[in-house]
Amino acid sequence: MNSVISNIDAIDINAVAELQHCLDLSDITSLVFLLYDAPHTALERLTLLHRVSEVHSRNMDLLCDWARLSQTRNSWKYELLEALSICQLFGAIKKLGFNVDEVKRHFLPHNVHVTHYINPMKKLLYKICENIQMENLLKLKKTLVTFDIDVQEYETCELIFLKLIVEEFIMIGSWKTECKIQEQCNMKNLTNIFRNLQGLMKFALELQEAENYLNNGPKPLDVTAKVVEPQKLKLNHTNYIDFKQIDELFQNLSINEELNESSLKLKSDSSKLHQESYPIIKKSRLGICYIINQEEFYSSKESIAKNIKQPEDRKGTEKDEIKLSKIMKLYNFEVVVDRNLNHQQIPRKIKDVIKNDVLEEDSIFIFCILSHGIEGCVFGADSVPVPIKTIWDILDSDAASKLHGKPKVLIIQACQESHQPRSEFVADGLDKPFHSLTYTPKSDFLTYWATAPELSAYRCEKEGSIFIQMLCFRVHQLGKEEQLCDIFTKVNEDVIVISKSSNYIQVPSVTSTLRRKLYLHLPV
Protein backbone atom coordinates (compact mmCIF):
# COMPACT_ATOMS: atom_id res chain seq x y z
CA MET A 1 0.00 0.00 0.00
CA ASN A 2 2.80 2.42 0.89
CA SER A 3 4.49 1.68 -2.45
CA VAL A 4 1.26 2.40 -4.32
CA ILE A 5 0.84 5.72 -2.52
CA SER A 6 4.46 6.77 -2.89
CA ASN A 7 4.41 6.21 -6.65
CA ILE A 8 0.98 7.69 -7.34
CA ASP A 9 2.42 11.00 -8.60
CA ALA A 10 3.92 9.07 -11.51
CA ILE A 11 0.46 9.35 -13.03
CA ASP A 12 -0.18 12.66 -14.80
CA ILE A 13 -1.86 13.80 -18.01
CA ASN A 14 1.23 13.14 -20.09
CA ALA A 15 1.54 9.62 -18.69
CA VAL A 16 -2.14 8.98 -19.46
CA ALA A 17 -1.67 10.26 -23.03
CA GLU A 18 1.33 7.99 -23.56
CA LEU A 19 -0.51 5.07 -22.00
CA GLN A 20 -3.60 5.63 -24.15
CA HIS A 21 -1.65 5.14 -27.38
CA CYS A 22 -0.43 1.74 -26.15
CA LEU A 23 -3.96 0.39 -25.59
CA ASP A 24 -6.22 -1.24 -28.16
CA LEU A 25 -9.89 -0.52 -28.82
CA SER A 26 -11.08 -3.25 -26.46
CA ASP A 27 -8.96 -1.94 -23.58
CA ILE A 28 -10.11 1.66 -24.11
CA THR A 29 -13.73 0.48 -24.19
CA SER A 30 -13.38 -1.34 -20.88
CA LEU A 31 -11.61 1.55 -19.15
CA VAL A 32 -14.16 4.12 -20.33
CA PHE A 33 -16.95 1.83 -19.14
CA LEU A 34 -15.40 1.66 -15.67
CA LEU A 35 -14.21 5.26 -15.31
CA TYR A 36 -16.81 7.55 -16.86
CA ASP A 37 -19.44 8.72 -14.36
CA ALA A 38 -21.90 9.84 -17.05
CA PRO A 39 -23.21 6.78 -18.94
CA HIS A 40 -24.72 8.95 -21.70
CA THR A 41 -21.32 10.47 -22.43
CA ALA A 42 -19.53 7.13 -22.26
CA LEU A 43 -22.03 5.49 -24.62
CA GLU A 44 -21.99 8.37 -27.09
CA ARG A 45 -18.21 8.60 -27.28
CA LEU A 46 -17.61 4.84 -27.40
CA THR A 47 -20.23 4.41 -30.10
CA LEU A 48 -18.44 7.01 -32.21
CA LEU A 49 -15.07 5.42 -31.42
CA HIS A 50 -16.28 2.05 -32.69
CA ARG A 51 -17.61 3.60 -35.89
CA VAL A 52 -14.51 5.49 -36.99
CA SER A 53 -11.41 3.99 -38.56
CA GLU A 54 -8.40 3.01 -36.50
CA VAL A 55 -6.48 6.03 -37.82
CA HIS A 56 -9.12 8.51 -36.70
CA SER A 57 -9.68 6.72 -33.39
CA ARG A 58 -6.16 7.73 -32.37
CA ASN A 59 -7.38 11.32 -32.28
CA MET A 60 -10.15 10.52 -29.79
CA ASP A 61 -8.44 11.00 -26.46
CA LEU A 62 -11.13 9.40 -24.32
CA LEU A 63 -8.82 8.62 -21.39
CA CYS A 64 -7.04 11.97 -21.51
CA ASP A 65 -10.35 13.80 -21.62
CA TRP A 66 -11.53 11.85 -18.59
CA ALA A 67 -8.27 12.60 -16.74
CA ARG A 68 -8.51 16.36 -17.45
CA LEU A 69 -12.09 16.53 -16.20
CA SER A 70 -11.32 14.38 -13.16
CA GLN A 71 -8.32 16.32 -11.85
CA THR A 72 -10.57 18.17 -9.41
CA ARG A 73 -10.90 14.87 -7.54
CA ASN A 74 -7.96 13.81 -5.41
CA SER A 75 -8.81 10.19 -6.14
CA TRP A 76 -8.60 10.26 -9.96
CA LYS A 77 -5.16 8.65 -10.14
CA TYR A 78 -6.28 5.84 -7.85
CA GLU A 79 -9.42 5.37 -9.94
CA LEU A 80 -7.30 4.90 -13.06
CA LEU A 81 -4.95 2.50 -11.30
CA GLU A 82 -7.85 0.43 -9.96
CA ALA A 83 -9.50 0.33 -13.39
CA LEU A 84 -6.24 -0.86 -14.96
CA SER A 85 -6.04 -3.53 -12.28
CA ILE A 86 -9.64 -4.70 -12.85
CA CYS A 87 -8.95 -4.95 -16.60
CA GLN A 88 -5.74 -6.85 -15.83
CA LEU A 89 -3.68 -4.41 -17.87
CA PHE A 90 -0.62 -5.26 -15.84
CA GLY A 91 1.77 -4.19 -18.59
CA ALA A 92 0.30 -0.69 -18.42
CA ILE A 93 0.59 -0.68 -14.63
CA LYS A 94 4.23 -1.67 -14.88
CA LYS A 95 4.81 0.98 -17.55
CA LEU A 96 3.54 3.60 -15.10
CA GLY A 97 6.21 2.49 -12.63
CA PHE A 98 4.14 0.44 -10.17
CA ASN A 99 4.82 -2.97 -8.70
CA VAL A 100 2.15 -5.20 -10.22
CA ASP A 101 1.92 -7.62 -7.29
CA GLU A 102 1.46 -4.78 -4.79
CA VAL A 103 -1.25 -3.19 -6.93
CA LYS A 104 -3.06 -6.52 -7.22
CA ARG A 105 -2.88 -7.09 -3.47
CA HIS A 106 -4.27 -3.63 -2.84
CA PHE A 107 -7.13 -3.57 -5.33
CA LEU A 108 -8.01 -7.31 -5.42
CA PRO A 109 -9.14 -7.25 -9.07
CA HIS A 110 -10.55 -10.79 -8.93
CA ASN A 111 -12.87 -10.08 -6.00
CA VAL A 112 -16.02 -8.45 -7.37
CA HIS A 113 -17.15 -7.40 -3.89
CA VAL A 114 -14.03 -5.37 -3.12
CA THR A 115 -13.54 -1.95 -4.71
CA HIS A 116 -12.03 1.27 -3.49
CA TYR A 117 -12.93 3.82 -6.14
CA ILE A 118 -14.76 2.02 -8.97
CA ASN A 119 -18.49 1.34 -8.67
CA PRO A 120 -18.63 -2.32 -7.55
CA MET A 121 -21.63 -3.05 -9.79
CA LYS A 122 -19.62 -1.78 -12.76
CA LYS A 123 -16.81 -4.09 -11.71
CA LEU A 124 -19.19 -7.05 -11.71
CA LEU A 125 -20.71 -6.05 -15.05
CA TYR A 126 -17.22 -5.81 -16.52
CA LYS A 127 -16.43 -9.31 -15.26
CA ILE A 128 -19.60 -10.53 -16.97
CA CYS A 129 -18.46 -8.82 -20.18
CA GLU A 130 -15.17 -10.70 -19.96
CA ASN A 131 -16.80 -14.09 -19.42
CA ILE A 132 -19.97 -14.07 -21.51
CA GLN A 133 -19.68 -16.10 -24.70
CA MET A 134 -20.46 -14.46 -28.03
CA GLU A 135 -23.32 -16.90 -28.62
CA ASN A 136 -25.01 -15.78 -25.40
CA LEU A 137 -24.27 -12.12 -26.11
CA LEU A 138 -26.16 -12.42 -29.40
CA LYS A 139 -29.08 -14.05 -27.59
CA LEU A 140 -29.04 -11.24 -25.02
CA LYS A 141 -29.27 -8.67 -27.83
CA LYS A 142 -32.27 -10.47 -29.34
CA THR A 143 -33.94 -10.65 -25.94
CA LEU A 144 -33.46 -6.93 -25.29
CA VAL A 145 -35.11 -6.08 -28.61
CA THR A 146 -38.31 -7.69 -27.26
CA PHE A 147 -38.14 -5.13 -24.43
CA ASP A 148 -38.00 -2.35 -27.06
CA ILE A 149 -34.32 -1.70 -26.35
CA ASP A 150 -32.42 -1.60 -29.63
CA VAL A 151 -28.84 -2.73 -29.07
CA GLN A 152 -28.24 -4.32 -32.46
CA GLU A 153 -25.55 -1.82 -33.46
CA TYR A 154 -23.42 -2.51 -30.39
CA GLU A 155 -20.75 -5.17 -30.81
CA THR A 156 -19.41 -5.24 -27.25
CA CYS A 157 -21.01 -6.16 -23.96
CA GLU A 158 -19.85 -2.91 -22.33
CA LEU A 159 -21.78 -0.81 -24.84
CA ILE A 160 -24.89 -2.93 -24.31
CA PHE A 161 -24.70 -2.48 -20.55
CA LEU A 162 -24.17 1.27 -20.96
CA LYS A 163 -27.31 1.37 -23.10
CA LEU A 164 -29.23 -0.45 -20.35
CA ILE A 165 -28.00 2.08 -17.79
CA VAL A 166 -28.94 5.01 -20.03
CA GLU A 167 -32.42 3.55 -20.61
CA GLU A 168 -32.74 2.95 -16.84
CA PHE A 169 -33.39 -0.71 -17.57
CA ILE A 170 -30.82 -1.33 -14.85
CA MET A 171 -29.65 1.01 -12.08
CA ILE A 172 -26.14 0.54 -10.75
CA GLY A 173 -26.34 3.11 -7.95
CA SER A 174 -24.07 6.10 -7.42
CA TRP A 175 -20.75 5.04 -5.91
CA LYS A 176 -18.68 7.53 -3.92
CA THR A 177 -15.15 7.29 -2.61
CA GLU A 178 -16.56 6.86 0.88
CA CYS A 179 -17.44 3.37 -0.35
CA LYS A 180 -21.17 3.93 -0.07
CA ILE A 181 -23.98 3.50 -2.55
CA GLN A 182 -25.79 6.84 -2.67
CA GLU A 183 -28.66 5.45 -4.77
CA GLN A 184 -30.18 1.99 -4.68
CA CYS A 185 -29.13 -0.59 -7.24
CA ASN A 186 -31.84 -2.26 -9.28
CA MET A 187 -30.63 -5.11 -11.48
CA LYS A 188 -33.83 -7.18 -11.48
CA ASN A 189 -34.54 -6.81 -15.20
CA LEU A 190 -31.11 -8.07 -16.22
CA THR A 191 -31.15 -10.75 -13.53
CA ASN A 192 -34.44 -12.12 -14.86
CA ILE A 193 -33.06 -12.26 -18.39
CA PHE A 194 -29.90 -14.05 -17.29
CA ARG A 195 -31.77 -16.68 -15.32
CA ASN A 196 -33.93 -17.45 -18.36
CA LEU A 197 -31.09 -17.69 -20.88
CA GLN A 198 -29.30 -21.02 -21.08
CA GLY A 199 -25.98 -21.08 -19.23
CA LEU A 200 -26.27 -17.64 -17.58
CA MET A 201 -27.75 -18.56 -14.20
CA LYS A 202 -24.34 -17.99 -12.59
CA PHE A 203 -24.42 -14.35 -13.69
CA ALA A 204 -27.98 -13.98 -12.38
CA LEU A 205 -26.91 -15.21 -8.95
CA GLU A 206 -23.88 -12.91 -8.89
CA LEU A 207 -25.96 -9.87 -9.85
CA GLN A 208 -28.59 -10.60 -7.25
CA GLU A 209 -26.03 -11.22 -4.54
CA ALA A 210 -24.21 -7.98 -5.39
CA GLU A 211 -27.45 -5.99 -5.45
CA ASN A 212 -28.45 -7.43 -2.09
CA TYR A 213 -25.01 -6.64 -0.64
CA LEU A 214 -24.85 -3.07 -1.94
CA ASN A 215 -28.42 -2.15 -1.00
CA ASN A 216 -28.67 -3.91 2.36
CA GLY A 217 -25.14 -4.62 3.54
CA PRO A 218 -23.35 -7.96 3.88
CA LYS A 219 -26.19 -10.38 4.56
CA PRO A 220 -26.20 -14.06 3.61
CA LEU A 221 -28.18 -14.68 0.45
CA ASP A 222 -30.84 -17.37 0.57
CA VAL A 223 -30.48 -18.58 -2.99
CA THR A 224 -33.42 -20.95 -2.72
CA ALA A 225 -35.78 -18.24 -1.57
CA LYS A 226 -34.47 -15.39 -3.68
CA VAL A 227 -33.82 -16.94 -7.06
CA VAL A 228 -36.47 -19.28 -8.36
CA GLU A 229 -35.51 -21.34 -11.37
CA PRO A 230 -37.86 -20.77 -14.29
CA GLN A 231 -40.04 -23.74 -15.05
CA LYS A 232 -37.85 -26.32 -16.71
CA LEU A 233 -39.68 -27.65 -19.71
CA LYS A 234 -38.21 -30.84 -21.07
CA LEU A 235 -37.57 -29.32 -24.44
CA ASN A 236 -34.09 -30.41 -25.37
CA HIS A 237 -34.14 -34.09 -26.10
CA THR A 238 -30.84 -34.38 -27.91
CA ASN A 239 -29.96 -37.99 -27.39
CA TYR A 240 -26.80 -39.44 -28.74
CA ILE A 241 -28.27 -42.33 -30.65
CA ASP A 242 -25.72 -44.20 -32.72
CA PHE A 243 -27.11 -43.85 -36.24
CA LYS A 244 -24.52 -46.35 -37.49
CA GLN A 245 -26.71 -49.01 -35.92
CA ILE A 246 -29.67 -47.99 -38.07
CA ASP A 247 -28.46 -49.97 -41.10
CA GLU A 248 -28.71 -53.12 -39.01
CA LEU A 249 -32.10 -52.05 -37.73
CA PHE A 250 -33.23 -51.40 -41.31
CA GLN A 251 -32.33 -54.97 -42.20
CA ASN A 252 -34.34 -56.26 -39.27
CA LEU A 253 -37.25 -54.14 -40.46
CA SER A 254 -36.82 -55.43 -44.04
CA ILE A 255 -36.74 -51.90 -45.45
CA ASN A 256 -33.41 -51.95 -47.24
CA GLU A 257 -34.70 -53.52 -50.43
CA GLU A 258 -34.88 -51.20 -53.43
CA LEU A 259 -38.46 -51.08 -54.66
CA ASN A 260 -39.49 -50.06 -58.14
CA GLU A 261 -42.71 -49.63 -60.03
CA SER A 262 -42.56 -53.12 -61.50
CA SER A 263 -42.72 -54.62 -58.01
CA LEU A 264 -45.95 -52.78 -57.19
CA LYS A 265 -49.15 -54.81 -57.32
CA LEU A 266 -52.19 -52.64 -56.78
CA LYS A 267 -55.49 -54.31 -56.04
CA SER A 268 -57.54 -51.44 -57.44
CA ASP A 269 -57.65 -50.69 -61.12
CA SER A 270 -56.21 -47.39 -62.33
CA SER A 271 -59.50 -45.61 -62.95
CA LYS A 272 -60.88 -46.47 -59.54
CA LEU A 273 -57.61 -45.42 -57.88
CA HIS A 274 -57.81 -42.00 -59.51
CA GLN A 275 -61.42 -41.59 -58.42
CA GLU A 276 -60.56 -42.40 -54.81
CA SER A 277 -57.50 -40.14 -54.68
CA TYR A 278 -56.84 -36.43 -54.57
CA PRO A 279 -56.03 -35.27 -58.09
CA ILE A 280 -52.55 -34.22 -59.12
CA ILE A 281 -53.20 -31.21 -61.32
CA LYS A 282 -49.69 -30.63 -62.61
CA LYS A 283 -47.03 -33.34 -62.34
CA SER A 284 -44.18 -30.89 -62.90
CA ARG A 285 -45.19 -29.00 -59.75
CA LEU A 286 -47.11 -30.67 -56.92
CA GLY A 287 -47.17 -27.60 -54.72
CA ILE A 288 -45.32 -25.81 -51.94
CA CYS A 289 -43.36 -27.45 -49.15
CA TYR A 290 -42.81 -24.79 -46.51
CA ILE A 291 -40.19 -25.60 -43.85
CA ILE A 292 -39.62 -23.61 -40.66
CA ASN A 293 -36.41 -24.74 -39.00
CA GLN A 294 -35.95 -23.51 -35.44
CA GLU A 295 -32.33 -24.06 -34.42
CA GLU A 296 -31.46 -21.10 -32.17
CA PHE A 297 -33.55 -19.87 -29.23
CA TYR A 298 -33.43 -16.86 -26.93
CA SER A 299 -35.53 -15.49 -24.08
CA SER A 300 -37.98 -12.67 -24.66
CA LYS A 301 -40.10 -10.31 -22.60
CA GLU A 302 -43.12 -12.57 -23.08
CA SER A 303 -41.35 -15.85 -22.32
CA ILE A 304 -39.84 -14.34 -19.16
CA ALA A 305 -43.29 -13.10 -18.10
CA LYS A 306 -44.62 -16.65 -18.63
CA ASN A 307 -41.68 -18.04 -16.63
CA ILE A 308 -40.50 -20.16 -19.56
CA LYS A 309 -36.79 -20.81 -19.65
CA GLN A 310 -35.03 -20.52 -22.99
CA PRO A 311 -34.75 -23.97 -24.63
CA GLU A 312 -31.34 -25.14 -25.72
CA ASP A 313 -30.37 -24.76 -29.36
CA ARG A 314 -31.35 -27.69 -31.58
CA LYS A 315 -28.03 -28.88 -32.92
CA GLY A 316 -28.35 -31.30 -35.81
CA THR A 317 -31.64 -29.90 -37.09
CA GLU A 318 -29.92 -28.65 -40.26
CA LYS A 319 -29.57 -32.32 -41.26
CA ASP A 320 -33.36 -32.66 -41.18
CA GLU A 321 -33.84 -29.48 -43.19
CA ILE A 322 -31.40 -30.62 -45.87
CA LYS A 323 -32.97 -34.07 -46.16
CA LEU A 324 -36.54 -32.74 -46.25
CA SER A 325 -35.66 -30.16 -48.90
CA LYS A 326 -33.95 -32.75 -51.06
CA ILE A 327 -36.80 -35.28 -50.87
CA MET A 328 -39.51 -32.70 -51.50
CA LYS A 329 -37.69 -31.32 -54.54
CA LEU A 330 -37.42 -34.86 -55.93
CA TYR A 331 -41.22 -35.00 -55.84
CA ASN A 332 -41.51 -31.66 -57.66
CA PHE A 333 -42.38 -29.50 -54.69
CA GLU A 334 -41.26 -25.89 -54.59
CA VAL A 335 -39.41 -25.69 -51.26
CA VAL A 336 -39.51 -22.52 -49.15
CA VAL A 337 -37.41 -22.37 -45.97
CA ASP A 338 -37.41 -19.93 -43.06
CA ARG A 339 -35.26 -20.22 -39.96
CA ASN A 340 -35.46 -19.08 -36.36
CA LEU A 341 -38.79 -17.25 -36.48
CA ASN A 342 -40.29 -15.78 -33.32
CA HIS A 343 -43.84 -16.59 -32.23
CA GLN A 344 -45.29 -13.58 -34.04
CA GLN A 345 -43.41 -14.23 -37.27
CA ILE A 346 -44.56 -17.86 -37.62
CA PRO A 347 -48.24 -17.14 -38.46
CA ARG A 348 -47.27 -14.05 -40.45
CA LYS A 349 -44.81 -15.99 -42.61
CA ILE A 350 -47.28 -18.81 -43.21
CA LYS A 351 -49.79 -16.26 -44.49
CA ASP A 352 -47.13 -14.72 -46.72
CA VAL A 353 -46.24 -18.09 -48.24
CA ILE A 354 -49.90 -18.88 -48.92
CA LYS A 355 -50.43 -15.48 -50.51
CA ASN A 356 -47.22 -15.18 -52.53
CA ASP A 357 -45.97 -18.72 -53.24
CA VAL A 358 -49.01 -21.01 -53.47
CA LEU A 359 -50.49 -21.25 -56.98
CA GLU A 360 -54.04 -22.12 -58.03
CA GLU A 361 -52.77 -25.18 -59.91
CA ASP A 362 -50.95 -26.58 -56.86
CA SER A 363 -52.21 -30.00 -55.76
CA ILE A 364 -50.78 -30.34 -52.23
CA PHE A 365 -49.48 -28.03 -49.51
CA ILE A 366 -46.92 -29.41 -47.05
CA PHE A 367 -45.87 -27.53 -43.94
CA CYS A 368 -42.96 -28.79 -41.83
CA ILE A 369 -41.88 -27.21 -38.57
CA LEU A 370 -38.79 -28.38 -36.71
CA SER A 371 -38.69 -26.98 -33.20
CA HIS A 372 -39.04 -27.62 -29.50
CA GLY A 373 -42.58 -28.15 -28.30
CA ILE A 374 -45.08 -28.89 -25.58
CA GLU A 375 -48.43 -30.57 -25.98
CA GLY A 376 -50.33 -28.92 -28.82
CA CYS A 377 -47.70 -26.23 -29.36
CA VAL A 378 -44.38 -25.52 -31.02
CA PHE A 379 -41.91 -22.88 -29.90
CA GLY A 380 -40.90 -19.70 -31.63
CA ALA A 381 -37.24 -18.74 -31.51
CA ASP A 382 -38.18 -16.27 -28.75
CA SER A 383 -39.18 -19.21 -26.48
CA VAL A 384 -42.91 -18.43 -26.74
CA PRO A 385 -45.21 -21.34 -27.68
CA VAL A 386 -47.49 -21.18 -30.72
CA PRO A 387 -50.53 -23.50 -30.74
CA ILE A 388 -50.76 -25.82 -33.73
CA LYS A 389 -54.42 -24.83 -33.83
CA THR A 390 -53.27 -21.37 -34.87
CA ILE A 391 -51.57 -22.90 -37.92
CA TRP A 392 -54.60 -25.07 -38.72
CA ASP A 393 -56.83 -21.99 -38.57
CA ILE A 394 -54.60 -20.05 -40.96
CA LEU A 395 -54.63 -22.89 -43.50
CA ASP A 396 -58.40 -23.17 -43.07
CA SER A 397 -59.20 -19.46 -43.39
CA ASP A 398 -60.62 -17.50 -46.30
CA ALA A 399 -57.12 -16.08 -46.85
CA ALA A 400 -56.06 -19.62 -47.81
CA SER A 401 -58.83 -20.15 -50.36
CA LYS A 402 -56.29 -21.48 -52.88
CA LEU A 403 -55.87 -24.47 -50.54
CA HIS A 404 -59.56 -25.17 -49.98
CA GLY A 405 -60.46 -28.69 -51.01
CA LYS A 406 -56.80 -29.62 -51.39
CA PRO A 407 -54.78 -31.79 -49.01
CA LYS A 408 -52.76 -29.90 -46.42
CA VAL A 409 -50.04 -31.96 -44.73
CA LEU A 410 -48.49 -30.76 -41.46
CA ILE A 411 -45.30 -32.48 -40.29
CA ILE A 412 -44.33 -31.50 -36.75
CA GLN A 413 -40.93 -32.43 -35.32
CA ALA A 414 -41.28 -31.37 -31.69
CA CYS A 415 -41.87 -32.82 -28.24
CA GLN A 416 -45.46 -33.00 -27.02
CA GLU A 417 -45.06 -33.23 -23.26
CA SER A 418 -47.77 -31.76 -21.06
CA HIS A 419 -47.39 -28.24 -19.76
CA GLN A 420 -49.72 -25.85 -17.99
CA PRO A 421 -50.75 -23.12 -18.45
CA ARG A 422 -51.29 -23.28 -22.18
CA SER A 423 -50.30 -20.36 -24.36
CA GLU A 424 -53.13 -17.98 -25.17
CA PHE A 425 -51.50 -16.76 -28.37
CA VAL A 426 -53.73 -16.77 -31.44
CA ALA A 427 -53.07 -15.45 -34.90
CA ASP A 428 -54.61 -12.16 -35.97
CA GLY A 429 -57.59 -12.15 -38.30
CA LEU A 430 -58.68 -15.75 -37.86
CA ASP A 431 -62.14 -15.07 -36.49
CA LYS A 432 -63.63 -14.21 -39.89
CA PRO A 433 -66.57 -16.36 -40.95
CA PHE A 434 -66.18 -18.74 -43.86
CA HIS A 435 -67.85 -17.35 -46.95
CA SER A 436 -67.32 -20.32 -49.24
CA LEU A 437 -70.34 -22.55 -49.73
CA THR A 438 -68.34 -25.22 -51.53
CA TYR A 439 -65.68 -25.80 -48.88
CA THR A 440 -66.09 -27.71 -45.63
CA PRO A 441 -63.95 -26.20 -42.86
CA LYS A 442 -61.46 -28.46 -41.05
CA SER A 443 -61.41 -30.94 -43.92
CA ASP A 444 -58.45 -32.15 -46.01
CA PHE A 445 -55.88 -32.02 -43.20
CA LEU A 446 -53.24 -34.65 -42.53
CA THR A 447 -51.16 -33.84 -39.44
CA TYR A 448 -48.18 -35.99 -38.57
CA TRP A 449 -46.62 -35.45 -35.15
CA ALA A 450 -43.13 -36.71 -34.39
CA THR A 451 -44.51 -38.09 -31.15
CA ALA A 452 -47.79 -38.61 -29.34
CA PRO A 453 -49.04 -36.33 -26.54
CA GLU A 454 -47.05 -36.47 -23.29
CA LEU A 455 -44.03 -38.01 -25.04
CA SER A 456 -40.69 -36.70 -26.27
CA ALA A 457 -39.19 -36.52 -29.75
CA TYR A 458 -35.52 -37.38 -30.05
CA ARG A 459 -32.73 -35.95 -32.14
CA CYS A 460 -29.10 -36.79 -32.79
CA GLU A 461 -26.80 -33.78 -33.00
CA LYS A 462 -24.76 -35.36 -35.79
CA GLU A 463 -27.45 -36.97 -37.94
CA GLY A 464 -30.76 -35.22 -37.21
CA SER A 465 -34.00 -36.53 -35.71
CA ILE A 466 -35.16 -40.14 -35.87
CA PHE A 467 -38.60 -39.08 -37.07
CA ILE A 468 -37.58 -36.79 -39.93
CA GLN A 469 -34.76 -39.03 -41.13
CA MET A 470 -37.02 -42.10 -41.21
CA LEU A 471 -39.83 -40.12 -42.82
CA CYS A 472 -37.53 -38.94 -45.61
CA PHE A 473 -36.19 -42.46 -46.07
CA ARG A 474 -39.67 -43.96 -46.41
CA VAL A 475 -41.02 -41.21 -48.67
CA HIS A 476 -38.01 -41.59 -50.94
CA GLN A 477 -38.47 -45.36 -50.98
CA LEU A 478 -42.25 -45.65 -51.25
CA GLY A 479 -43.57 -42.24 -52.27
CA LYS A 480 -44.20 -43.24 -55.88
CA GLU A 481 -46.17 -46.33 -54.92
CA GLU A 482 -48.05 -45.97 -51.65
CA GLN A 483 -50.44 -43.41 -50.27
CA LEU A 484 -49.05 -41.08 -47.67
CA CYS A 485 -51.04 -42.47 -44.73
CA ASP A 486 -49.64 -45.95 -45.37
CA ILE A 487 -46.12 -44.54 -45.55
CA PHE A 488 -46.69 -42.80 -42.22
CA THR A 489 -47.76 -46.11 -40.69
CA LYS A 490 -44.45 -47.67 -41.73
CA VAL A 491 -42.56 -44.69 -40.30
CA ASN A 492 -44.41 -45.20 -37.01
CA GLU A 493 -43.09 -48.74 -36.80
CA ASP A 494 -39.56 -47.65 -37.72
CA VAL A 495 -39.41 -44.89 -35.11
CA ILE A 496 -40.89 -47.04 -32.35
CA VAL A 497 -38.42 -49.88 -32.99
CA ILE A 498 -35.38 -47.59 -33.29
CA SER A 499 -36.19 -45.51 -30.21
CA LYS A 500 -37.00 -48.61 -28.18
CA SER A 501 -33.67 -50.19 -29.15
CA SER A 502 -31.99 -47.08 -27.68
CA ASN A 503 -34.08 -47.25 -24.48
CA TYR A 504 -36.32 -44.31 -25.38
CA ILE A 505 -40.02 -44.11 -26.06
CA GLN A 506 -41.19 -42.17 -29.10
CA VAL A 507 -44.49 -42.91 -30.82
CA PRO A 508 -45.41 -40.76 -33.85
CA SER A 509 -49.06 -39.79 -34.13
CA VAL A 510 -51.32 -39.08 -37.13
CA THR A 511 -54.57 -37.14 -37.22
CA SER A 512 -56.51 -36.93 -40.47
CA THR A 513 -59.57 -35.29 -41.95
CA LEU A 514 -58.65 -36.33 -45.48
CA ARG A 515 -61.59 -37.25 -47.72
CA ARG A 516 -59.59 -39.26 -50.23
CA LYS A 517 -56.38 -41.19 -50.58
CA LEU A 518 -53.32 -38.98 -50.86
CA TYR A 519 -50.46 -39.91 -53.16
CA LEU A 520 -47.39 -37.86 -53.99
CA HIS A 521 -47.30 -39.69 -57.30
CA LEU A 522 -50.33 -41.50 -58.68
CA PRO A 523 -49.29 -45.02 -59.74
CA VAL A 524 -50.03 -45.82 -63.36
Does 191 lie in the same domain as 323?
no
Burial class of 227 by CB neighbour count within 10 A (0 to 12, 13 to 18, 19+): middle
pLDDT confidence band for 243 (50 / 70 / 90): low
Report yes or no on 249 lying in a domain. no
Lowest mean pLDDT among 43-52, 160-169, 260-269, 302-311: 260-269
pLDDT at 426 over 50: no
Residue 521: the pLDDT is 83
pLDDT at 234 over 50: no
Mean pLDDT of 484-513: 93
Report yes or no on 243 lying in a domain. no
Report yes or no on 269 lying in a domain. no
The enclosing H or E element of 326 equals helix 317-330
Does 300 lie in the same domain as 189?
no
Q: Encode 303-337: b = buried (16+ Cβ within 10 Å), e = exposed.
A: bbebebbbbebbebbebbbebbbebbeebbbbbbe
Residue 173: the pLDDT is 86
Which of 203, 226, 249 is the last residue in one of the domains? 226
Report yes or no on 250 lying in a domain. no
pLDDT at 245 over 80: no
pLDDT at 307 over 50: yes
pLDDT in tens, 439-450: 567 899 999 999
Q: What is the CATH number of the domain that holds 464?
A: 3.40.50.1460
DSSP 336: E
Residue 6: the pLDDT is 73
Residue 58: the pLDDT is 58
Longest dimension (CA), the chain: 103
Residue span of the structural domain in which 291 resides: 279-512
Does 296 lie in the same domain as 177?
no
Mean pLDDT of 335-347: 98
Does 316 lie in the same domain as 201?
no
Does 302 lie in the same domain as 194?
no
Does 454 lie in the same domain as 373?
yes
Report yes or no on 271 lying in a domain. no
pTM over 0.85, yes/no: no
Residue 259: the pLDDT is 36
Residue 244: the pLDDT is 53
Mean pLDDT of 230-238: 43
Task: Determine the Cα–Cα distance for residues 102 and 344; give it in Å rounded to an integer.
Answer: 56
Which of 181, 210, 226 is the last residue in one of the domains? 226
Residue 7: the pLDDT is 81
Cis amide bond preceding 279, omega within 30? no
Does 184 lie in the same domain as 89?
yes
Which of 185, 210, 226 is the last residue in one of the domains? 226
pLDDT confidence band for 262 (50 / 70 / 90): very low
Does 290 lie in the same domain as 202?
no
pLDDT confidence band for 116 (50 / 70 / 90): confident
pLDDT confidence band for 56 (50 / 70 / 90): low
Report yes or no on 457 lying in a domain. yes
User: Strand, helix or coil at 412?
Assistant: strand
Does 492 lie in the same domain as 378?
yes
Residue 130: the pLDDT is 96
Residues 6+ apart with CB under 8 A from 156: 26, 29, 50, 129
Q: How many domains does the chain have?
A: 2
Which residue from 124, 90, 119 is spatially nearest to 105, judged by alpha carbons?
A: 90
Task: Determine the Cα–Cα distance for residues 446 and 511; give it in Å rounded to an integer.
Answer: 6
pLDDT confidence band for 54 (50 / 70 / 90): low
Question: What residues form DSSP beta bridges with 288?
Answer: 334, 365
Report yes or no on 110 lying in a domain. yes
Does 284 lie in the same domain as 160?
no
Between 388 and 442, the more confident residue is 388
Does 212 lie in the same domain as 76?
yes
Does 357 lie in the same domain as 423?
yes
Report yes or no on 517 lying in a domain. no
